[in-house]
A and B are shown apart, each in its own frame.
Chain A
Amino acid sequence: MLKAWYDETLKSYFPDSDEAFRRNTGFANPVGQAFQESMAVILDGIAEQAAASEFAAPLDRVVRVLAVQGLPAGVAIRFLFVLRDLLDKNADLSPNDKKKWQKQLDALAEQSVETWCECRETLAQLRINELRNRIHQLEASSIAKERGGSS
């Protein structure tokens, strides 16, 4: 299940590079590393019906990558719906299990949208910080000019 989810997700988001991202491991493939490690935790958490807080870190790790890929929020959380499709097609699961998993995935989708928004806000804040730093530098230099007596 993990492999299928990972493969489908890569194909979905990085259609031109999914092979390279699948081939490389570890630090040579930071996107793949983030996805694989986090997806494993998410999948285990769903199977064990873990509390929502258990999903925060792995969801953050995946969504943080997707939030800087130029994707709208709906597309950025699509990886959860990829899993939903896979679970739907899994014949080994009982209808009751499927229902439980799907409910949990709905909650994760909500959580992911929130994380995506936080990431985008952080990006905007970073831009503001950079502008503020630049203004601070300009102010410092204009104070220095005044003290120097000319411009």
Chain B
Amino acid sequence: MAKMQKPVELLKNTGYETVPQTHWMDTPVDFRPGTWLFPGKAESLVAVDLPNPRKWSPEDADWKLPPNWKEIILDGMRERLQRYRSFRVFMDSCVRCGACADKCHFYLGSGDPRNMPVLRAELLRSVYLYYFTATGKTLGRFAGARELTEDVIKEWFYYFHQCTECRRCSVFCPYGIDTAEITMIGRELLNLIGCNIDWIVTPVANCYMKGNHLGIQPHGLVDSMDFLVENIQDITGVKIEPTFNRKGAEILYVPPSGDIFADPGTYALMGQLMLFHETGIDYTLSTYASEGGNFGSFTSMEMAKRLNAKIYAEAKRLGVKWIIGGECGHMWRVIHQFMDTMNGPGDFLETPVNPVTGTRFEHARATGMIHVTEFTADLIHEGKIKLDPSRNDNVKVTFHDSCNPSRAMGLLEEPRYILNNVCNHFYEMPEETIRENTFCCGGGSGLGADENMEMRMRGGLPRANAVRYVHEKFGVNMLSCVCAIDRATLPPLMHYWVPKVAVCGVHELVGNALIMKGEMKRTQNLRFEDLPGVEEDGNE
């Protein structure tokens, strides 16, 4: 009888040496540049009392963990298993059916099995089984359990920072396991021994010390806002005067700070300021609650609570009746799912009522806070603003459902309703890539750094692939969204995958289309580009 070749020998004959020769538990992580993120700066950790501040690199053999790191992690797991029932349920209830496996954008863009949500969760679950279950203790690896080692920590660091907590996988899980929460717990545990990334920790420190992720102080905020106001006046001839820290205003407006400083977010913010001015609502901004975003939620629940607290604190100090939140993504997961129990009840606020239309936003009774697209969609629906959508005729627009507003708060219709009213050319991406099935930008949850650009391009491929389709089919040249992180991460993504598509916030298009009382003849859009038809008019 001929000698039968073993699988490994058979594979050798194919000439493809890339096949892993070891089980996933025995395959160490390859920290290849372009795929991992820089660790948190020691001074940022110190600013927010995070443990084990030090200088280190994931490429080093020695990560300078505390001597009792194992005890810290296991105690941390034990504490969280007791505190979060969801964590224990998620650890116990997965049957490895694989429904989530091919739903993660990082998996679809990289083919790395440890980016299958089920396997990413298994990185943590295997340790849970080994230390916290009888089967794991008894049967060990046979039951999918493994001992906690430094290599496991390195694997957690690598893969829990390749999950954007977008929750697409959870849409498909028949048991309702929220893998994003497993990543959140994984990152919490890593933070206990000082294994975190700078793109998260430094914004957290900034936000804690100065109120926003960029670390801009009050006068800087006011000055930047003045700059935007000047631009609005140059374009429209209308002078608007937003106020800061004005006690007794009816509404507190909390945008993401990225929109105050970085294009194209600035254009979206200008659109919102124009709308507030036009409708004459009584609002103010806070120089301390100057950040809707919450990178604390990518660190730990405690940190999320610390950073979120300023919104209610400022609302109370200023004596406002309710709050409008800007075009931000993860901000809305924190507000919609956690704020009421973290820092609420917001019972000092009133149920938001649109002062222009009289619409009462009952669904926001608990938090006292609505999304700016809810406010705008209501204004349009009630016919309270004048719009000229032809001013956006130079763009063919599609809409990227930002992960958190769509999946965490169900904000699906309002942005579309607005877009259909402010521009004449709106095209949807394929059904399986939008709404609750939306694909992530690949840079959410603090992963929008530059050192991991290659990984971001892998993670963003599924989204870019759908944009590419509408670009080729309908000539779409503008990708709109309602998230500040999207406005930061989608431009490079488009640059690489679909170079002729730009990115904007929904309210940039609102600002372009809005006909303001007393405005001069508009010739430019909010980017100081000629409006469609202006050039022809000038030539006549």
Q: Besides the contacts A27-B466, A70-B34, A70-B454, what 17 more A-B pairs have beta carbons closer than 8 Å?
A: A11-B14, A14-B111, A17-B107, A26-B432, A27-B465, A28-B432, A30-B464, A31-B111, A70-B35, A123-B34, A126-B496, A127-B451, A127-B453, A130-B450, A137-B262, A140-B224, A144-B224
Is B214 at the interface (CB under 8 A from chain A)? yes
Asked whether, in the complex, the Cβ of B496 is within 8 Å of the Cβ of A144, the reply is no
Q: How far is the CA of A130 from the CA of B35 in the complex (A)?
A: 16
Which of A31, A64, A141 interacts with B497 by CB under 8 Å?
A64
Please determine whether A16 and B453 come into contact, CB atoms closer than 8 angstroms: no
B495 at the A interface (CB under 8 A)? yes
Q: Does B529 contact A (CB under 8 A)?
A: no
Pair A148/B432 contact, Cβ less than 8 Å: no
Identify B101's interface contact among A20, A33, A64, A122, CB under 8 A: A20
With a cutoff of 8 Å between Cβ atoms, the chain A residues found around residue B113 in the complex are 16-17
| Interface flag for B49 (CB, 8 Å) | no
A binding-site residues for B, Cβ under 8 Å = 11-18, 20-21, 23-24, 26-31, 33-34, 64-65, 68-70, 119, 122-123, 126-127, 129-131, 133, 137, 140-141, 143-145, 147-151
CB of A123 within 8 A of CB of B454, answer yes
Nearest neighbor of B459 in chain A, beta-carbon distance: A68
Q: Does residue B397 face the partner (Cβ distance < 8 Å to A)? A: no
Q: Is the CB of A13 within 8 A of B496?
A: no
Q: A30-B465, A70-B32 are in contact. Are A13 and B18 (CB under 8 A)?
A: yes
10 pairs, CB–CB < 8 Å, chain A vs chain B: A11-B14, A18-B111, A21-B111, A68-B458, A69-B458, A129-B492, A130-B450, A140-B224, A145-B220, A148-B218
Residues of B within 8 A of A (CB-CB), count: 50
In the complex, are the beta carbons of B214 and A137 less than 8 A apart?
yes
B355 is an interface residue with CB less than 8 A from chain A: no
**Given known contacts A21-B111, A24-B102, A141 and B465 CB-to-CB distance under 8 angstroms:** no
**A126 contacts across to B, CB distance below 8 A:** 450, 453, 492, 495-496
Residues of A within 8 A of B14 (CB): 11
Residue of B nearest to A71 (CB): B18
B527 CB to nearest chain A CB (Å)? 16
Q: Bound state CA distance, A65 and B111, in angstroms?
A: 11
Contact between A27 and B16, CB atoms less than 8 A apart: no
Would you call B432 and A122 a contact (CB within 8 A)? no
A31 touching B108 in the complex, CB below 8 Å, given contacts A137-B261, A145-B217: yes
A150–B19 CA distance with the chains assembled, in angstroms: 59
Is B20 in contact with A64, judged by CB distance below 8 angstroms? no
Contacts of A16 in B (CB 8 A): 19-20, 111-113
User: Is the beta-carbon distance between A123 and B453 smaller than 8 angstroms?
Assistant: yes
Do residues A148 and B219 form an inter-chain contact, with CB atoms below 8 A? yes
| Chain B residue with Cβ nearest A147 | B223
With contacts A130-B450, A137-B262, A141-B214 taken as known, whether A13 is within 8 angstroms of B111 at the C-beta atoms is yes
Residues in A neighbouring B16, C-beta threshold 8 A: 11-12, 15
Partner of B18, one of A12, A23, A24, A123: A12
Contact B20 A15 (CB under 8 A): yes
B451 neighbours in A (Cβ, 8 Å): 127
Determine whether B110 belongs to the interface, using a CB cutoff of 8 Å to chain A: yes
**CA–CA, A12 and B16, complex, Å:** 6
Interface centre among B19, B215, B450 (most CB of A within 10 A): B450
Q: A12-B18, A130-B450, A148-B223 are in contact. Are A33 and B465 (CB under 8 A)?
A: yes
